[in-house]
Structure 1
Amino acid sequence: MTQINLNYFWCSGSLLLGVMALQLVTGIFCAIEYLNLTKKHLFHVKVGVGEPGPIMDGLVSDLLRFMHLWGASLVFVCLLGHIGRGLYYCSYSKNPVLWSFGMILYVVILIEAFLGYLLPWHQMSYWAGVVISTIFLSLPVIGPHLYSFLLGSYDFGDGIVSRVFCVHVCFGFVIIALIVLHLVELHKIGSSNSFNSGDSYSDVIFFHKGYGYKDVLLFLSVMLATLLFSCYSPWFTSLKENFITPNPLATPTNIKPEWYFLPFYALLRSIENKIGGLIAVVMLLVLVWVPVPGWVI
């Protein structure tokens, strides 16, 4: 049973779950084909652009990669919409534990997306890794030790790619576990609603067919749009630096990360001190985690 007055904003959770499933499936195929060949930028699949192989295999491989690329942006569209709906309707006040699981999941997905951004090993991903790794290096006392432990060496080079790939895959299982915990906690109390009304029998209907068809229709529409973008405009969100082999001696003129990293990148750039920028990013996440005027339990 579910609330009768839920609108399309409440489809963001089920849509996000479907998009994460898409990322899992396409990610598995990309991982199977992935090769740690840092000298061959962008083409780290055995059968892909510029690689010999059957035409059908090459097309399918490219389509899966492009869907995984567009799926990353789609995940954050759904995720930010899901968080925005929770903030607007004060859903965090009904179940703070559920909200905490969701925010932890958001942070883990951010890390997962950044690790995936490094794997193509182009000019922009290389320098993104350099910027983030130097933040760890600037930490007092433990900074140099943590830096060498994470990178496996004393500089950000080709050897880091295999480590990033391993952690990227492992974080996928962490995300699955957090999604399960999030759903279990959700079903303990149930979804909030736009009027914060009670759970009396007159206020609820069966989830299916009441909302099941709505979720399925929205998911199929989004998947169709993703497929069209993957076929006709696969590199729409990519910059020209994404097609350049990493060059440690040439910093990109205009460093611009993916759109879902822009708020955090702006904070890091707005504060000259690296530790200060890191603290600002953490404070931004805490502000969303513990909304103003606070939790109403």
Structure 2
Amino acid sequence: MAAGPHDQHELSDPDSDVRHMHDSKVQNPVLRWIDQRMPVISMIQLEYGSFPTPRNFNYFWNFGALAMVTLVIMIATGVVLSMQYAANTHLAFDSVERIMRDVNYGWLLRYAHANGASMFFIVVYIHMWRSLYYGSYKSPRELLWMLGVVLFILMMATAFMGYVLPWGQMSFWGATVITNLFSALPVVGEHIVTWLWGGFSVDNPTLNRFFSLHFLLPFVIVGVTFLHVVALHITGSNNPLGIEPKTKKDTIPFHPYYTIKDSFGIVVYLVVFAILVFFMPNYLGHPDNYIPANPLVTPAHIVPEWYFLPFYAILRAVPNKLGGVVLMGGALLILFVLPWLDSSPVRSMRFRPIAKWLFLVWTVNFGVLMWVGGKPAEQPYILIAQICTAYYFAYFLVILPFLAKFERPLPLPESIARAVLTRKGGGPLPAGATAKPMEKA
């Protein structure tokens, strides 16, 4: 449709641009001037201030914010550490020792970064456990879940490359063992290993490549995290009941209710983080990594960091190298299709009595895999790993699809508000009855 004379006048009039500026409600005149031209403040207020969220979040919903705080800590400490680190096989180990001994507060930066990796995985594992238990991967949040799995894989890649950088014994031999796994792939495997190494063994080109990728990938994680948050704000958050908000009574503004709750969680988290850094800085590390890398001396027991151990156990559960690699990769890739494997219309395990207990068995099973992954590759640990690996895959491929068809869930609450306000958790009330406040425990 062509513009009329009046419209053409408005488009050509330079003063008419003012009419199209954002109507900002910010009180500060300087910030309002900025917000009118680039409404970042209004967007934050909309998405993190007045954004409606279910009123029944528990503290498991804090761990998304804790993950973002940890990511900021890791990037900040990593950037400063990179200024003092030397990515050279002859200098790397000594440069880390120099950071620890001679750089002002270098010990604090190094310990915060090294333990931050462990804290990051603890937070993300709990975050993923919550999503599995409360069904946050189900429609309409499939893409949100899949982006979360992408973030988890990127974290694993970043952490593995970072573990190589100190160039201790476990760094060198861990890199040798893990990169060699790609050689099991037919046709392209040897080429991938050569590309990763930058030659024909783990050496200086390997360290340079890993350092560059370790520096780059956290910023890729930031980008995917942005998409993850966008997907969250499009679909809205799940909640412990697994039902969608129906009225305004079911929701509350994100601020101040959940900003206060998240702030409390962050303070508690930072206290735990500080205890680990100041009193147990090497508790989650391996003592062999304080020995300089030596290609001529193989450690008695090569193990990755603790957060890789469940998948390392799955890898070793199969005698065939290719089979182990396929199973280990499948243990991650199966998470992408989880929303379609579990077709039950009920999200939360609270209302799925059989699925809840089988999921708790899966949780224990995952912990056993973590324990077995740190043990020698011998009996009875191999047998235990094989049994746990079988249950890991059976849970996703057999149990969940079966239960989706045959399990009879408990009655769902009528609404989130009713569940919060009624005495017995929100079940349907008799006709004409009024909601009674919950009794104090």
TM-score, normalised on structure 1? 0.92
Q: How many Å apart are 1:296 and its aligned residue? A: 5.9
Whichever residue aligns with residue 257 of structure 1, its letter is P
Q: How does 1:268-287 map to 2 (within 5 A)?
A: 268-287=315-334
Please, which runs of 5 or more residues in structure 2 have no aligned partner?
Answer: 1-51, 346-441
From 236, 239, 247, the counterpart of 2:294:
247
Task: Give the Cα–Cα distance (whole angstroms) in 2 for the partners of residues 2 and 133 of structure 1.
Answer: 44
Q: How does 1:50-89 map to 2 (within 5 A)?
A: 50-51=101-102, 57-58=103-104, 60-89=105-134
Question: Which digits, 9 at most, give the CA deviation of each residue in 1:37-95, with x for residues without a partner?
Answer: 423564424852344xxxxx43x111011001111011111101111001001111131
Q: Which residue of 2 aligns with 1:177?
A: 223
Q: Does the alignment pair 1:2 with 2:53?
A: yes
The verdict on how the C-alpha distance between 1:139 and 1:43 changes in structure 2, with shifts beyond 3 A counting, is same
From 228, 232, 238, the counterpart of 2:275:
228
Q: How many Å apart are 1:224 and its aligned residue? A: 2.5
Question: Which digits, 9 at most, give the CA deviation of each residue in 1:80-137, with x for residues without a partner?
Answer: 1111001001111131011111111111111111011111111011111111121122
Q: How many Å apart are 1:249 and its aligned residue? A: 1.9
Q: Which residue of 2 aligns with 1:15?
A: 66
Whichever residue aligns with residue 342 of structure 2, its letter is G
The verdict on how the C-alpha distance between 1:287 and 1:137 changes in structure 2, with shifts beyond 3 A counting, is closer
Q: Which residue of 1 aligns with 2:342?
A: 294
Q: Mean alpha-carbon deviation: is it higher for 31-40 or for 171-180? A: 31-40
From 195, 198, 201, the counterpart of 2:244:
198
Q: Would you say how many aligned residue pairs link Structure 1 and Structure 2?
A: 291
What CA RMSD, in Å, does the superposition of the two structures yield over aligned residues?
A: 1.8
Greater relative contact order (CA < 8 Å, ≥ 6 in sequence):
1
Task: Give the Cα–Cα distance (whole angstroms) in 2 for the partners of residues 42 and 192 of structure 1.
Answer: 46
Q: How many Å apart are 1:258 and its aligned residue? A: 1.2
The verdict on how the C-alpha distance between 1:41 and 1:47 changes in structure 2, with shifts beyond 3 A counting, is closer
From 95, 107, 128, the counterpart of 2:174:
128
Task: Give the Cα–Cα distance (whole angstroms) in 1 for the partners of residues 77 and 66 of structure 2.
Answer: 17
> Highest CA radius of gyration, 1 or 2?
2
Question: Which digits, 9 at most, give the CA deviation of each residue in 1:194-227, with x for residues without a partner?
Answer: 1123322010011111111110111122112212
Report if aligned partners of 1:41, 1:243 keep a CA contact under 8 Å in 2.
no
Structure 1 residue ranges (4+ consecutive) displaced by more than 6 angstroms after TM superposition? none
Is the partner of 1:2 in helix, strand or coil?
strand
TM-score, normalised on structure 2? 0.63
Q: Which residue of 2 aligns with 1:214?
A: 261
Task: Give the Cα–Cα distance (whole angstroms) in 2 for the partners of residues 114 and 150 of structure 1.
Answer: 13
Identity of aligned residues (%): 35
Task: Give the Cα–Cα distance (whole angstroms) in 1 for the partners of residues 277 and 91 of structure 2.
Answer: 22
Please, which runs of 5 or more residues in structure 1 have no aligned partner?
Answer: 52-56
Q: How does 1:44-55 map to 2 (within 5 A)?
A: 44-45=95-96, 47-51=98-102
The verdict on how the C-alpha distance between 1:18 and 1:270 changes in structure 2, with shifts beyond 3 A counting, is same
Question: Which digits, 9 at most, give the CA deviation of each residue in 1:224-259, with x for residues without a partner?
Answer: 221232122211112221111112122111222211
Whichever residue aligns with residue 167 of structure 2, its letter is W
